Amino acid sequence: MSHVNALPPTESQPKFVVSWTGSDVGSGVGGFTIYVSDDGGPFTAWMSNTTATQATYGGVTGHT
């Protein structure tokens, strides 16, 4: 099971830190793939098979 930690409703800067966590009791977590959607568009992989648990997302001012 995994999830992205909650973010505030708005960010004042286009670049902001996103963090996530996850666990798998039997075999452990080998990596995470984090998906994003820009302005309600289709979800695409932002980070693939990463062992990191946070990264700085480079958004675009005015986008959701």
Average pLDDT value for residue range 34-53: 95
Give the pLDDT band (50/70/90) at residue 26: confident
Question: Any residues with CB less than 8 A from the CB of 55 and at least 6 apart, and which?
Answer: 17, 18, 34, 47
In this structure, the number of other CB atoms found within 10 A of the CB of residue 32 comes to 17
Domain boundaries, the chain: 2-6+14-58
Amino acid at site 49: N
Amino acid at site 28: G
Q: Is residue 37 over pLDDT 90?
A: yes
Amino acid at site 32: F
Residue appearing with tokens 């648990």? 53
Task: Provide the whole-model pTM.
Answer: 0.85
